Amino acid sequence: MNDSAVMWSRALTELTLSFHIIYATIGVGIPLMIMIAQWVGLKNNDEHYLLLARRWARGFVITVAIGVVTGTAIGLQLSLLWPNFMELAGQVIALPLFMETFAFFVEAIFLGLYLYTWDRFKNPKRHLLLLIPVAIGASMSAVFITIVNAFMNAPQGFDLVDGELVNIQPVLAMLNPAMPTKVAHVLVTSYMTAAFLLASIAAYRMLRGSKHVYHKKAFHLLLKLGLVFSLAALVVGDFSGKYLAEYQPEKLAAAEWHFETKEDASLVLFGMLDGQEVKYAIKVPYALSVLAHNNPFAEVKGLDQFSNDEQPPLYIHYLFDIMVVIGALLIVVAVSYVLGKWRGWKFISSQSFNRIVVASGPLSLIAVEAGWWFAEVGRQPWILRGYMKTAEAATTSGQVDTMLILFAGLYIVLAIGSIVVLIRMFRNNPIELEIEEHKQVEGCAGQ
Amino acid sequence: MTLEILGISVLWIFLFGYVIVASIDFGAGFFNAYSLLIGKNHILTNIIKRYLSPVWEVTNVFLVFFFVGIVGFFPQTAFYYGTILLVPVSISLVLLAIRGSYYAFESYGARGHIGYTLTYGIAGLLIPASLSVVFAIAAGGYVDITDGQPVLNYWTLYTSPFAWSIVVLSIAAVLYISAVFLTWYAHKAKDREATNLMRKYALAWAIPLMLSALGIMYEMKFINPESYNNLVNLWWMFAISAVLFIITVVLLWMRKNYGLAVSLLIAQFAVAFFAYGIAQYPYLLYPYLTIYDSFTSTQMAIALVIAFILGLCLLIPSLFLLLKLFLFNKNYVTGKEDNHA
């Protein structure tokens, strides 16, 4: 076994995935937002919402391009860096991987159709229809690829007899216990991230002094959607905790620094770890038992139940904290907006509130990253929990470190390129200008 | 037909699909960059952009489909090819990433940036070159097994005339396929200048294409006598391909029926591509891996075939709609309509 190849393979996979999920999350969430905006625009005959859809779609193309190329990279890197794992996975979990390519195909085709047929149909509803396969395709690729990841956390659908895989059941492998919570969590947090990201753009424009009603409409629509999806994320997150307690107790125990199995377990928030001693932490009594089993007196398994070489690293607690705290904060932001709108609070139309909403987009991306790192590092040392350790799966090739530098360079170029292009695209064509041009075109057509 | 043959046939068809659509795409990018250098890009850019814009993302999916499918049907390929191809495929990936994203940047963000156009054009030739090396590796002779792990012998590969012939063939094929297709597309757009320019390129690339194809056949004799004998036995398929090639060139020469020329071109490559594939039978990686010892479990194979059929039910109508709205739509092709978001 080549130890450094294992380390570099993990580093390269982590780098590629961390970069890919930024664009992938946007890619899953934004088509739904575009669809909703266009639907609202058509229903109310409101030009502003149609323009929202149109401008989001333009920016979306850039993020999709990066999502596609980095997705292709990780797709092939799985085989390049983890050949032993993919050989095994190919036998058991190839079905969702294969189905994902079809979802991706449909999305790619209809995105091209949607982008190049603006105003082409006499009946604008037809154009809206093109967006449905884009949104469904994007979400379905997330569903299928998350199923593969869920399988790595809770493998089933095969038997291992003398090192040979027998009795393979592809559908059972897909319907593994981790699947429902993982898929639901990935979907709702992607929608939530998209809503807050777009809301932070609207908030930013208003912060910079734009008084246009276009931004107010976007802001209003997106914070309402943000509320729905962040509450959904809370509910699904709670189910995920119960899943962990049942099927992956070592991950929950490591996340909560829960060393000893006991009843009435308390939830550890924040804090620092000094050896096995937890310092400066806020402990919420009974909360972990509630999170794990919906019962304040229930017993929660601790790390003492697992041998040292099967425990995940303890730093995942910080990642868990980051994810949960950001999630809670965003719920507060969305709730206060919707409540404030209803009760007529002045605060929600202030510049300070705009500043908070500007922060909400980047914060939700940080939560997505932290959540994925927590989920992935939390299943160490396994690549296939209970069956194959990460170290057994890595390539034996000696050049992984060089490839890491190569790809790091690529991602830097892609990150800078996409940000520069996106900023330029919208700075050179602000909404005021586009609405003005639109009126002129309409005026000419009317004469 | 056994499931193994069905699986590899499906994958080979999709790989062929990728070869054709990617060739058009890669070649178009190169011609676009080249025309910029010689100051003729006002002739070509519009035609190329109009074709590429709605389809650039679809091209990539053909490739993804192939590599996901081959790991699904033949999981051991992940072990062998995954281990040996780390460096060549990583380089291809970086080139593909730069190319794909720069296309979006260029078309939607900064229009007319020279650096983008040139990078895009050059990457388009390097990608087929770097990907086609896999064909040479599959034919055998470049992989050793050390301590049970496959190791790629880079020196043998880089000094092999066979591998280089494949690289030359892939580049010539990309430029030829793309030029013939764009001749037809420009003709449909009623753009005479672009048609004439592309026709000239198509005729120019026909000769290197044939020479490199013959070179591969000759060198196969020394690399892998077993496949060479298979190739010789399939001489009639290559003869058909050659005849189709000659008719295509004659049609281009006489400026007649470009639509038929494109169909014959696709048929020519299909016949040759399948003949080459059949000659490799039953090996996926000579002499270590055959399609029989690497095949997945029957249950998974059946599940994949069902998913494939259902997937095609979605895919074929969608592709048809794409072709109908863009490739076969007069107003779009001639540039009378621009409904870009």
* Residue B111 clears pLDDT 70, i.e. is over it: no
Residues B101 and A418: beta-carbon distance below 8 Å: yes
Q: Rounded to an integer, what is the distance from CA B170 to the centroid of its chain?
A: 8
Instruction: Return the DSSP state at A349.
Output: G
Q: List the single residue in B57, B93, B108 with the smallest CB-CB distance to A73.
A: B93
Beta strands in B55-153 (DSSP E): 143-146, 149-152
Residues of B in Cβ contact (< 8 Å) with A51: none
Cβ separation A168–B94 shorter than 8 A: no
Residues A383 and A393: beta-carbon distance below 8 Å: yes
Closest residue on chain B to A50 (Cα): B341
Query: Mapping DSSP to helix (H, G, I), strand (E, B) and coil, where does residue B313 land?
Result: helix
* Residue A445 clears pLDDT 60, i.e. is over it: no
Closest residue on chain B to A79 (Cα): B82
Long-range contacts of A202-207 (CB under 8 A, 24+ apart): A202/A357, A203/A354, A203/A355, A203/A357, A203/A358, A203/A360, A204/A354, A204/A358, A205/A431, A206/A354, A207/A351, A207/A354, A207/A355, A207/A358
For residue A447, what pLDDT band results from cuts at 50, 70 and 90? very low
pLDDT tens, position by position, B48-57: 877 777 777 7
Helix axes B3-37, B298-322, angle to 10 degrees: 40
CB-based contact (8 Å) between B240 and chain A? no
CB-based contact (8 Å) between B76 and chain A? yes
* Residue A446 clears pLDDT 60, i.e. is over it: no
State the alpha helices, DSSP H only, in B146-234: 154-158, 161-188, 192-223, 225-233
Q: List the single residue in A65, A169, A420 with the smallest CB-CB distance to B104.
A: A65
CB-based contact (8 Å) between B86 and chain A? yes
pTM for this entry: 0.89
The residues, any chain, with a CB within 8 Å of residue A354's CB and separated by 6 or more, are A203, A204, A206, A207
For residue A121, what pLDDT band results from cuts at 50, 70 and 90? confident
Q: How far apart are CA B100 and CA A71, in angstroms?
A: 12
For residue B279, what are the CA distances in angstroms to B11, B73, B157? Answer: 16, 20, 21
pLDDT tens, position by position, A289-343: 777 787 888 888 888 888 888 888 888 999 999 999 999 999 999 999 999 888 8
CA distance A191 to chain B (A): 22
Give pLDDT, residue A18.
94
Model ipTM?
0.87
Give pLDDT, residue A2.
58
Determine the length of chain B: 341
Instruction: Return the DSSP state at A309.
Output: G
Q: How far apart are CA B79 and CA B293, in angstroms?
A: 13
Virtual torsion, Cα A301, A392, B68, B305, nearest 10 deg: -70
Using CB atoms and an 8 Å cut-off, which of residues 168-227 of chain A contact chain B? Answer: 168-171
Residues of A in Cβ contact (< 8 Å) with B63: 72
Rounded mean pLDDT of chain B?
87
CB-hemisphere CA count at 13 Å for B213?
Answer: 20
Residues B30 and B125: beta-carbon distance below 8 Å: yes
pLDDT tens, position by position, A368-381: 999 999 999 988 88
Q: List the single residue in B304, B314, B325 with the smallest CB-CB distance to A95.
A: B304
* Residue B166 clears pLDDT 50, i.e. is over it: yes
Determine the average pLDDT of the residues in A15-32.
Answer: 94
Q: List the single residue in B60, B90, B103 with the smallest CB-CB distance to A406.
A: B90
Residues of A in Cβ contact (< 8 Å) with B98: 410, 413
Cβ separation A62–B109 shorter than 8 A: yes
Residue matched to tokens 């280089």: B164
* Residue B279 clears pLDDT 50, i.e. is over it: yes
